[in-house]
Amino acid sequence: MIVQEGYRENKSYVHPERRMQNMCDEAVRWSVNAALHEDDRQKPIGRSLYRYLLEEMATAAMKYAVSKDLDPDDFENDTLPGAIAIGENLRSALVNDWKDKTLDFWDSNSRPIDRIKADKVPYIERSSVESVVGDYLALPYRAQAMDRLLVKVLIAMELYAFGDEMMNEKKFLGFMPHSPLKQTHTLLGYLKGLFTNAVLFGGSAALALFAASRGWIGETSAGWITGTCASLFFLFAAIGTVALPFAWYAQANARRNVTKLLMAMVTIYNELRSDGPISAQYIRERASRAAEEGVAWPAPLFAVLDDVIARTGRF
């Protein structure tokens, strides 16, 4: 009887873990509804990337709070907001404006090279992404889903930036493009140079001969001008011809190097598509080899991989 009365007196009691779970559900629901885009209303939002990440981060925060026996109020006010903020800030760093703010804000199945060729490079705010990584690593808990997405985004950030620079560089006022892939082929440039010099020097010689025929200058002067123009034409042609093989080789080598770096980054990115566990050490070794070849990875990439290696080694 005493037990029954005690039950009646405490029937409104909610276990702290249950309270924290309710807080997580409410925080995720509120954040998703606040971010809901018109296009997202046409599909089940429960399967969206955004909701999934928020739930994983909130769950990780709750497990940490339970392990530390934190008070639910402290969890709600201090611990949980930090978890939700990581998901919100990452999404904000990967959407350009309100038109793009869909809940599925990152397409892991897209083909980066195809998107670069189509000049449809996704928006990535580099400084904001790196700031999110710093905030995430400062937390006392981790979520495997966030580990994997951050690694993907950090690799894609350099892949898309470098690929866009090399494949979509715009010409500016006739200046030679920086990208070897956008530069005029050396042989074509050589032929254009010959044609330009032929027009320039040939035109000058013809003008001198015309002036001599009109009596504007002497025949001797016209002869000197014509001879000088012919000499300069053959001199530049000879220099260009001697330099042609070396320039051709250098350009071909530069193009191969660009292609090699792009393929190295694409290969690593594609290896992250697996639905199973991925070895952080393996990805780090691949990224390190690519860095030795010339890939300038974002520094936070290795910070995330080292953090995963120090914990489980998988993500």
Q: What is the pLDDT along the chain (315 residues), one digit of tens a residue?
A: 333 343 344 445 668 889 999 999 999 999 998 887 655 555 555 578 999 999 999 999 999 999 999 999 999 999 999 999 999 999 999 988 655 567 888 988 889 999 999 999 999 999 999 999 999 999 999 999 999 999 999 999 999 999 999 999 877 666 778 888 888 888 888 899 899 999 999 999 899 888 888 888 888 888 899 999 999 999 999 999 999 999 899 989 999 999 999 999 999 999 998 888 999 999 999 999 999 999 999 999 999 999 999 999 999
Quick one: angle between helices 299-311 and 126-138, nearest 10? Answer: 20
Domain of residue 47 covers 2-105
Residues 174 and 307 in one domain: yes
Residues 87 and 219 in one domain: no
Q: What is the pLDDT of residue 184?
A: 86
Q: Alpha helix locations (H) across the chain?
A: 2-9, 16-35, 49-67, 72-74, 80-93, 112-117, 126-138, 144-167, 186-213, 219-271, 280-293, 299-311
Q: What is the pLDDT of residue 8?
A: 41
Residues 276 and 200 in one domain: yes
- The C-alpha atoms of residue 198 and residue 229 are separated, in whole angstroms, by 9
pTM summary value = 0.82
Q: What is the pLDDT of residue 3?
A: 36
Residues 181 and 237 in one domain: yes
Tell me if 138 sits within 8 A of 305, measured CB to CB: no
What is the total count of domains within the chain? 2
DSSP, collapsed to helix, strand or coil, labels residue 314 as strand
Tell me if 31 sits within 8 A of 54, measured CB to CB: yes
Q: What is the pLDDT of residue 14?
A: 67
Residues 235 and 99 in one domain: no
Assigned domain for 268 exists: yes
- The C-alpha atoms of residue 76 and residue 7 are separated, in whole angstroms, by 27
Q: What is the pLDDT of residue 169?
A: 83
Buried b (16+ CB within 10 A) or exposed e, 262-295: bebbbebbeebeeeeebebeebbebbeebeeeeb
Q: What is the pLDDT of residue 178?
A: 82
**Nearest by Cα to 125 from 152, 156, 93:** 93
Residues 25 and 146 in one domain: no
Residues 289 and 204 in one domain: yes
DSSP, collapsed to helix, strand or coil, labels residue 70 as coil
Assigned domain for 123 exists: no
204, exposed or middle or buried, with CB in 10 Å at 0-12, 13-18, 19+?
Answer: middle
- The C-alpha atoms of residue 315 and residue 312 are separated, in whole angstroms, by 8
Residues 153 and 271 in one domain: yes
Q: What is the pLDDT of residue 74?
A: 93
DSSP, collapsed to helix, strand or coil, labels residue 279 as strand
Assigned domain for 187 exists: yes
